[in-house]
A and B are shown apart, each in its own frame.
Chain A
């Protein structure tokens, strides 16, 4: 479904991605781990063109998305993103956070929007917060709303950029529960995370990023138990 070949990206003199190759099948949940500065987030942001890669190819559903021939906004409707800092719109209620994009882009009519948004909120367990403003929510609640917002566009692919890193420890669980539910529903997911437990339990494959390349990849039981590379071993020994 997603095919990335030799992806490169630099910021000035800093080479962040040095030729990343990844293949993702429909319904997979890929967890991306690695030390900070290894290019995980940049890679994820390249996938929905928040960063424009300097070189390489990205093909999604057989369509080449680099090279500027494609409608970026239309492509992004199909690739949802959940951010580390939630990025909820503070000037709108939870409900409007969710309905804004689908109504503006014609996915939902104004009449059905509220009902559909409430349905999504029920999925993340927050239907009572529909009329609240984001600043009245806890971190965990904010992130669950952000997930509901991303789901509203009914994307085939969901990108998670360290979704639990900004949360207090007691709130990590509720967000991971929601994500697990999505995995069971079969949405294709790429998750940059430091939650090794989550990666181990639900991911179909784990990618270990180091110095802007995928140094090692494999099924979680294989990568976590018998990593091949010394760098992977030393990283895992620090975080596990």
Chain B
């Protein structure tokens, strides 16, 4: 990296940092209104918090928090985000309360305040039927699958918790419980350490696994409140008391944890169908679960389409600035920024770009816009290179002929070069679009329910690991195949006109 490039990298960093600063300053301002409370959650933890088939938040924590808010006469604004972003978002001032089945650990107490305890669960070890683990000590040296960032993760990682700890275990961290169970069934893990309620649901649903509750692991669950915000803390504790007194709490407990009520079966969806087609019917038709796919598909297609449009505009601008600098054999500030942009975007993973733009720049607001901006910026870097290549591939004599007639650079580009370059560019552009459609499968990292995320929801709701994911794969394949066929036809038409 030469000195100029270093300078540009520093400058780009400063611009980004400035954006972050302004962003956080804005949220600080927004906190002035107390009647609306922003609550963060992670809707991947049924039955505590999850999305229903219409994509709306629901779950025990959700309904309980809403009941508290109703009792206190405040309004809630919910933000769904990855579990491991919750505390960070609170520290950044984006959310004021976390309702995500969190335990009051000493570690967390350093960054947040806790409400009164509203639920006490316990840990269970799930294992294959041929072997059971009785306590934490027996897990020593074993491969243990856990939910990333959960209480069980801390226990298995040997971090000191109030509920005991496992030494020398190898933690395998997953984003959702059904992946963890899948790992166990496949033999990749020796055990899954998980909340007892979920352990029992999985054992009921899946053959060949058993769960063992660990005594002494009763763990409390609390809402987390922004450090030092007494007003909200008192409000929640007061509200919890009211909700318990009025019997709402018992209703919710019954609904979500008994597993027998109508609401309960909804969470612990159990297949009563048999045979392959019965299973298919159960996965896709019951409770309209196919709707997840349709909604996810919509998101995938809309985000990809919009991103490719944003990417083309960015790409064209970047390409023209860089070509202009090439032509004049002189780098300008603009062309250096563009070079650095292409360099940085191509040199970093798109999932990191998405998370940085979504959480740090947009502060989890305007989710789809943030996603389109992120993928647009990402795609723009690649598109700019495609366009640049396409334009450079047009014979130099074309530019010379245009300029020798007295046409300016702009007119020459517009009427002569770009129309010819389009032919060179189109096939590569089609590939870029196809690439982008598949790339959007990382949207789940920021809590947007695209096709991939939808399929993993269906997987975790039905406790079926294979079919829901394959269904999503087939849908991706069909879109891409259809696009390739269309592109192929289009290309042939273009070649015929030559």
Contacts and interface: CB of A to CB of B under 8 A. Distances in A.
Interface of A: 48, 50, 73-74, 76-77, 79-81, 83, 85, 87-92, 100-101, 104-105, 135, 146, 149-150, 152-153
Contacts of B498: 135
Contacts of A79: 404
A83 B397 CA distance: 8
Contacts of A150: 404-405
Contacts of A152: 405
A89 B407 contact: no
A50 B419 contact: no
12 contacts: A50-B403, A50-B404, A73-B407, A87-B400, A91-B419, A100-B405, A100-B407, A101-B402, A101-B405, A101-B407, A146-B401, A149-B405
Nearest to A88: B401
**By DSSP majority rule, is chain B's interface helix, strand, loop, or mixed?**
helix
Interface string B396-425: 011011111111100100011001100000
B406 A153 contact: yes
Contacts of B420: 89-91
B421 to A, nearest CB: 10
B395 interface: yes
B292 to A, nearest CB: 47
A104 B403 contact: no
Q: Which one of A74, A100, A146 has the greatest number of beta carbons of chain B within 10 Å? A: A100
A100 to B, nearest CB: 6
Given A50-B403, A77-B406, A89 B411 contact: no
Interface string B354-377: 000000000000000000000000
A104 B397 contact: no
A224 B406 CA distance: 36
Nearest to B418: A91
Contacts of B400: 50, 81, 83, 87
A185 B309 CA distance: 53
A104 B415 contact: yes
Interface string B170-201: 00000000000000000000000000000000
Contacts of B398: 87, 89
A135 B408 CA distance: 25
A77 B405 contact: yes
B407 A87 contact: no
Given A81-B401, A85-B397, 16 more contacts: A50-B400, A73-B406, A76-B405, A77-B405, A77-B406, A83-B401, A87-B398, A87-B400, A89-B401, A89-B416, A89-B420, A90-B420, A92-B415, A104-B411, A146-B401, A149-B405
Contact of B401 (A77, A87, A104): A87
Nearest to A83: B397
B415 A100 contact: yes
Contacts of B404: 48, 50, 76, 79-81, 150
Cβ-closest 10 pairs across A and B: A77-B406, A87-B401, A101-B405, A81-B404, A87-B397, A76-B406, A91-B419, A73-B406, A89-B416, A73-B408
